[in-house]
Amino acid sequence: EKPSGPQAQATQVLKKGDSQYRRFTMISDTIGPDPAVTEAIQKGNAVVFLDVSLGEGENETLLGRIKIELFMLDCPKTCENFRQLCTGEFLVNEQPTGYKGSTFHRVIKDFMVQGGDFVKGDGTGQKSIYGTTFPDENFLHRHDQPGMLSMANSGANTNACQFFFTTAKKADWLDGVHVVFGKVLDAESMLTVRKCEAVPVSNQKPRIPLRITECGEL
């Protein structure tokens, strides 16, 4: 059986271990240069990705890949923190440390999907490549469309590892409070964010683990 094309593969929900799951990973990594990725890099930005799965063990299913354009020229410090936590370049006790294996712990439909707490997993953990926290870099970008990538915080100048994707048309009450430093790159990636947003929750916590199974830089 031949795959029906990279876009069709990317929008399926696939079980880990299935040949289709392996085929998705292989195709998504070998279909050649992505024009959107190339364009972002030519602008001087970086592009990273998060592969997201739902469930655990034999019941784990791949939701898809989120490609993210990081605004390296506008927010270099914030972007470098996120980039290294995606690639595993950040080491703790000589071990790669970052988002791989961490979960999205908070989902609010029509607002946002939050994750990145690889320290405690519940929204209380803090760690960055610069120390526990680092200051707000700037507020050049706004929460003015779905798919904006922004730093979660516990007050001014408390950026660390946690982040969120907006799913609202706009969330302007966050402007000047949370640092926007990137955006979801394309419609296919935004579909994966929407799948995350649709997961059943209890008190804003996904009832089924929503996990970053792989991440890195493109």
Active site residues: 106, 111, 114, 153, 164, 174, 178
Residue 84 contacts residue 198 (beta carbons within 8 Å): no
Distance from C-alpha of 31 to C-alpha of 74, rounded to nearest angstrom: 30
- Residues β-bridged to residue 180: 150
Name which of 146, 150, 185, 143 is nearest 49 in CA terms: 185
Both tokens of residue 9? 């593969």
Both tokens of residue 208? 């089924």
Distance from C-alpha of 99 to C-alpha of 213, rounded to nearest angstrom: 9
Both tokens of residue 191? 């579909």
Both tokens of residue 30? 């070998």
- DSSP, collapsed to helix, strand or coil, labels residue 199 as coil
User: Residue 90: how many CA atoms within 13 Å on its side-chain side?
Assistant: 20
Burial classification of residue 110, based on how many CB atoms lie within 10 Å of its CB (0-12 exposed, 13-18 middle, 19 or more buried): exposed
List the end-to-end C-alpha distance of the chain, in Å, as a whole number.
Answer: 29
